[in-house]
């Protein structure tokens, strides 16, 4: 045992001597490394960043011309800061991709024929086209338009922030249309001068108090309709408009649809439509509060009758107000008994951008188009410059942005060949036929028109 203890002591001394003579070995182990590793606590707070993926080289299109078409000139005019910035961006993008972006303006009456014939020939006349929804639906059903999913990826702005381009409402059971974010919507406008002159309550105040509905609309229309010079003839009217549009608008404000393209069902016999048709018929033929300038209640030119300045309330798009001589206000079309604030008008002229089947490299085309909008914002909200060019009162702009924009019901009954909307309304408003009997008369024809498109 003693020999073992002595040996152990000798080994320990020897090891101590070796360690001491090794010099810097222990000091190097104690010295901090050049880049200290983070502690466990620090690493948890600041996770290691993944290295950024290198940006892919832009595609060289070899001078290809990318065409963007509409029935008006889509090229930025360069009159506002935003338009100037986009023109500069377009020039930058053209250089980046070695391409040329051309804006094609085709007259409306020639537009759809040009689109259809060129797509059928396999050579769309433009890479991106503006189409009304009622024109796009038949093309979608025939497979002539690409869904957004076929030319975008999860990296595109439209599938993320969507502040450059945004998906427009579904049509034909899918997402096809895209365009700039917008703050526009169609409301019921009113002649503020007439309202003040006749001591009528301001409609925006009624709306704020929750008193704006069909009953109040009818009450005010009756109060505004009068003979002011005592010649035995009415010279101021409560309402004006195109009767066919009026029925569509009040149907939407009652939560209904003239036709539902999402489920392929006619809507003329829908109780919500019938209720709206009864209400509009009462305006024209019972209370007689509607000015009909042309003598034809279903003449589309009646859409402009309000410009005479002797009509208290009217449905009109904002672009129709350019040449009026009176102060105007706007509120949503009043909700019907079955309606809500979610749907307030029929968007009969809804349109968006689409990419047709046959366009070469649609993903690149879309990417380039989207990038042309990637500019520093010059507006506080989308469409600010446009709205402020139309309306002088901030209250009207706020009403549109907060209570009207986004509440339109896409109305595509005109997409279906032989769909009898006009005949249905003509029989009721012009020929004074029963609403329910007229709906029964045209119900089968309406459904057959819907079914025909799906075949």
Strand intervals (E) in 28-175: 64-70, 99-105, 128-132, 166-167
What pLDDT score was predicted for residue 44? 39
Domain identity same for 340 and 357: no
Distances from the Cα of 80 to the Cα of 65, 323, 376, 385, angstroms: 26, 22, 13, 8
Task: Judge whether 8 lies within some domain.
Answer: no
Domain identity same for 242 and 316: yes
Domain identity same for 78 and 114: yes
Domain identity same for 193 and 174: no
Nearest Cα to Cα of residue 350 among 134, 74, 109, 94: 134
Task: Judge whether 427 lies within some domain.
Answer: yes
Domain identity same for 141 and 274: no
Task: Judge whether 19 lies within some domain.
Answer: no
Domain identity same for 191 and 83: no
Task: Judge whether 355 lies within some domain.
Answer: yes
Domain identity same for 214 and 292: yes
Domain identity same for 355 and 345: no
Task: Judge whether 237 lies within some domain.
Answer: yes
What pLDDT score was predicted for residue 55? 61
Domain identity same for 109 and 200: no
- Which residue range(s) make up the domain with 203? 187-349+411-453
Domain identity same for 150 and 202: no
Task: Judge whether 447 lies within some domain.
Answer: yes
Q: What is the per-residue DSSP string for 132-161?
A: EHHHHHHHHHTT-B--GGGT--TTSGGGTT
B/e letters for 163-202, b = 16+ CB within 10 Å, e = fewer, are ebbbbbeebbeebbbbeeeebbbbbbbbbbebbeeeebee
Task: Judge whether 288 lies within some domain.
Answer: yes
Tens digit of pLDDT at every position of the chain (455 positions): 433 333 333 333 333 333 333 343 333 333 333 333 333 333 334 444 555 555 667 899 999 999 999 999 999 999 988 899 999 999 999 999 999 999 999 999 999 999 999 999 999 999 999 999 999 999 999 999 999 999 999 999 999 999 999 999 999 889 999 999 989 999 999 999 999 999 999 999 999 999 999 999 999 999 999 999 899 999 999 999 999 999 999 999 999 999 998 889 999 999 999 999 999 999 999 999 999 999 999 999 999 999 999 999 999 999 999 889 999 999 999 999 999 999 999 999 999 999 999 999 999 999 999 999 999 998 999 999 999 999 999 999 999 999 999 999 999 999 999 999 999 999 999 999 999 999 999 999 999 999 998 65
How many distinct structural domains can be found in the chain?
2
pTM for the predicted model, two decimal places: 0.84
Q: Would you call 282 exposed, middle or buried from its count of C-beta atoms within 10 A (0-12, 13-18, 19+)?
A: middle
Task: Judge whether 70 lies within some domain.
Answer: yes
B/e letters for 107-135, b = 16+ CB within 10 Å, e = fewer, are eeeebbebbbebbeeeebbbbbbbbbbbb
Domain identity same for 229 and 341: yes
> What angle in degrees, to the nearest 10, is found between the helix axes of 435-453 and 133-141?
50
Q: Give backbone dihedrals phi and psi of 188, rounded to 5 degrees, phi first.
A: -90, 115
- Rounded to whole angstroms, the Cα distance separating 43 from 46 reads 5
CATH code of the domain covering residue 231: 3.40.190.10
Domain identity same for 247 and 356: no
What pLDDT score was predicted for residue 49? 53
């Amino acid at each position: 045992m003693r020999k073992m203890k002595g040996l152990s002591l000798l080994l320990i001394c020897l090891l101590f001597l070796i360690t001491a003579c090794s010099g810097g070995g222990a000091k190097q182990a104690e010295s901090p490394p050049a880049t200290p590793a983070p502690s466990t606590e620090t690493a948890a707070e600041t996770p290691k960043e993944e290295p950024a993926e290198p940006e892919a080289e832009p595609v060289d299109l070899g001078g290809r011309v990318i065409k963007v078409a509409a029935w008006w000139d889509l090229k930025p005019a360069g009159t506002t800061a935003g338009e100037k910035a986009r023109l500069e961006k377009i020039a930058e993008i053209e250089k980046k991709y070695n391409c040329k972006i051309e804006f094609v303006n085709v007259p409306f009456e020639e537009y759809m024929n040009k689109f259809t014939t060129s797509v059928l020939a396999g050579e769309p006349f433009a890479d991106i086209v503006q189409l009304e929804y009622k024109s796009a639906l038949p093309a979608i059903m025939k497979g002539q338009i690409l869904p957004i999913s076929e030319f975008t990826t999860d990296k595109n702005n439209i599938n993320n922030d969507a502040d450059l381009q945004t998906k427009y409402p579904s049509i034909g059971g899918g997402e096809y249309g895209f365009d700039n974010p917008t703050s526009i919507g169609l409301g019921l406008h009113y002649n503020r001068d007439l309202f003040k002159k006749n001591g009528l309550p301001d409609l925006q105040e009624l709306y704020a108090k929750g008193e704006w509905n069909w009953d109040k609309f009818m009450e005010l229309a009756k109060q505004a309709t009068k003979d002011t010079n005592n010649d035995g003839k009415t010279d101021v009217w409560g309402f004006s408009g195109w009767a066919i549009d009026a029925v569509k608008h009040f149907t939407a404000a009652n939560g209904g649809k003239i036709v539902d393209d999402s489920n392929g069902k006619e809507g003329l016999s829908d109780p919500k439509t019938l209720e709206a048709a009864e209400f509009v018929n009462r305006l024209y033929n019972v209370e007689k509060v509607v000015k009909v300038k042309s003598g034809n209640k279903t003449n589309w030119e009646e859409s402009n009758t309000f410009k005479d300045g002797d009509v208290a309330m009217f449905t009109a798009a904002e672009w129709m107000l350019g040449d009026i001589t009176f102060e105007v206000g706007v509120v949503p079309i009043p909700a019907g008994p079955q309606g809500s604030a979610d749907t307030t008008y029929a968007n009969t002229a809804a349109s968006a951008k689409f990419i047709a089947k046959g366009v070469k490299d649609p993903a690149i085309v879309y990417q380039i188009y989207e990038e042309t909008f990637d500019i520093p914002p010059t507006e506080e909200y989308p469409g600010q410059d446009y709205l402020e060019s139309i309306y002088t009162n901030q209250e009207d702009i706020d009403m549109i942005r907060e209570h009207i924009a986004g509440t339109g019901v896409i109305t595509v009954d005109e997409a279906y060949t032989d769909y009898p909307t006009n005949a249905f309304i003509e029989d009721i408003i012009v020929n004074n036929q029963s609403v329910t009997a007229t709906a029964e008369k045209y119900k089968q024809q309406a459904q057959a028109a819907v079914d025909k498109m799906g075949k």
